[in-house]
Structures are given as structure tokens and as C-alpha cells.
């Protein structure tokens, strides 16, 4: 009986591609062009109806004042409305204090330089809570895509440097590209109370847009 033996092709084995894995990232900075200001009115009274009425009147004045300085109605919305009983704890005993009514709204603006004026106007009209100012970009995708492209370039430069050090020939076309999670812009101003000032200077600074990739090259 004849037997057939297959001899491994050594040249084929040596020609099989090996992989080199690297990561790349890039962070771009951009000045925000829009902001959402979270503010409102907190009212307290032992009678919940009185607290509610006072709060309703105060928030109505706040909303009217914001509309009077150019913020349209569609850019004003309620984000939280609550009526909660408040208690004092004396010698381990829970004693009823009053009711707290809070009506929180969000005001959106594309006029960054106007934020200080918006806050001052709201406070003069009765707002006594400024929760946060969240700055953002109207077109973050454009900045992110640019950062993504630079992150890929950064990964290639790393792989090329490693290949030169190792004395290997790198295939410039990646075998695999994995987009990693992007980071979301944080709120740049955060506080739970507000002290009335003559003028409120707000410095928005710049937002960081970060893109990261993990890339696999062959050699």
C-alpha cells in the first residue's frame, strides 16, 4: 500500500504574518458655543399650600425675566419639581419642621458671554438655587472625528517606531482598528447654593475632546 506524506512548507510558515498591537489617543481643545444653566427657586413654609404658591409666583417671575432678556420659551424647561417635608432631629427625635418646594428649570443659551447676565437676572427675579452650568459644543462630532483621525495617526507612529527598533517591516495598512470609548465633556461650574453678587463673571474655558483607538498591524 502506498502512503503519501505531506511535508510542511517552511517558506510558507515563515511568511505567515505576525501582529503588533498598539494604542493611540489624541485630545483636542475647543471653546464651547452653548451652555445649559440649571437654576430655580426653593421655598419653605409649614403650610405646603403657602410654600407652593410662593414658589409658583417666584419661578414665574424668573421665567418672565429670562424671556425678557432674549431666551425663547422653547429653551426653558422644567427639570425638577418637588414638595418634601423637612424634619429636625433633636435628641434622637424626628420633629417636623416645614415643607420645602423646589422648582428647577434649565435655560439653554448659545450666547456664552451672556451667561453671567442670565444668572444675575434670574437671581434678581427670585432664583435662589444655581445647580450647574454645563458647557458643550453644538457640533462635537466634527471635533471628535478630527481627534479620531489624529489618534489613528498616533497609533501608526508608535507602531512604526517599534518596528524600526525591532528591525521588522511593518504593513502600513492596519489589520484591525478598534474605537475605544470617548469621554464626555464635564460640567465646568458646579455649586448647590448661590450668593448674590453685583456681577457674575463666568469663564467657560475650553472643553477637551478625546478619541482613543486600539490598532493591530501585521509584519
- Confidence (pLDDT) at 137: 93
Residue 88 included in any domain: yes
- Segment 106-123, tens digit of pLDDT: 999 999 999 999 999 999
Domain count for the chain, please give it. Answer: 2
Domain shared by 45 and 132, yes or no: yes
Domain limits for position 168:
17-30+141-182+214-218
- Segment 73-85, tens digit of pLDDT: 999 999 999 999 9
The CATH code of the domain that includes 102 is 3.30.70.2970
The answer to whether residues 78 and 105 touch, using CB atoms and an 8 Å cutoff, is: yes
Domain shared by 97 and 48, yes or no: yes
Domain shared by 163 and 113, yes or no: no
Domain shared by 113 and 48, yes or no: yes
- Segment 175-209, tens digit of pLDDT: 999 999 765 554 444 443 444 444 678 888 889 99
Bridge partners (DSSP) of residue 189 are 133
Domain shared by 68 and 155, yes or no: no
- Confidence (pLDDT) at 17: 76
Residue 74 included in any domain: yes
Domain shared by 82 and 150, yes or no: no
The answer to whether residues 119 and 186 touch, using CB atoms and an 8 Å cutoff, is: no
3-state secondary structure of 142: helix
- Confidence (pLDDT) at 204: 83
Residue 197 included in any domain: no
Domain shared by 53 and 104, yes or no: yes
pTM comes to 0.74
Amino acid at each position: 500500500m502506498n502512503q503519501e506524506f505531506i511535508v510542511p512548507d517552511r517558506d510558507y510558515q515563515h511568511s505567515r504574518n505576525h501582529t503588533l498591537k498598539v494604542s493611540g489617543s489624541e485630545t483636542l481643545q475647543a471653546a464651547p458655543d452653548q451652555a445649559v444653566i440649571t437654576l430655580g427657586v426653593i421655598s419653605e413654609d409649614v403650610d405646603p399650600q403657602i410654600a407652593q404658591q410662593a414658589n409658583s409666583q417666584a419661578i414665574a417671575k424668573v421665567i418672565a425675566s429670562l424671556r425678557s432678556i432674549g431666551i425663547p420659551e422653547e429653551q426653558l424647561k422644567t427639570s425638577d419639581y418637588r414638595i418634601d417635608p423637612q424634619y429636625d432631629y433633636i435628641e434622637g427625635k424626628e420633629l417636623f419642621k416645614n415643607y420645602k418646594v423646589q422648582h428647577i428649570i434649565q435655560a439653554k443659551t448659545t450666547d456664552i458671554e451672556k451667561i453671567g447676565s442670565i444668572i444675575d437676572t434670574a437671581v434678581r427675579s427670585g432664583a435662589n438655587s444655581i445647580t450647574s452650568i454645563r458647557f458643550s459644543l453644538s457640533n462635537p462630532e466634527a471635533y471628535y472625528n478630527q481627534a479620531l483621525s489624529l489618534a489613528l495617526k498616533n497609533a501608526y507612529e508608535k507602531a512604526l517606531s517599534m518596528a524600526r527598533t525591532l528591525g521588522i517591516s511593518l504593513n502600513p495598512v492596519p489589520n484591525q482598528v478598534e474605537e475605544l470609548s470617548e469621554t464626555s465633556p464635564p460640567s465646568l461650574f458646579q455649586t448647590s447654593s448661590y450668593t448674590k453678587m453685583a456681577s457674575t463673571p463666568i469663564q467657560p474655558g475650553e472643553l477637551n475632546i478625546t478619541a482613543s483607538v486600539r490598532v493591530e498591524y501585521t509584519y
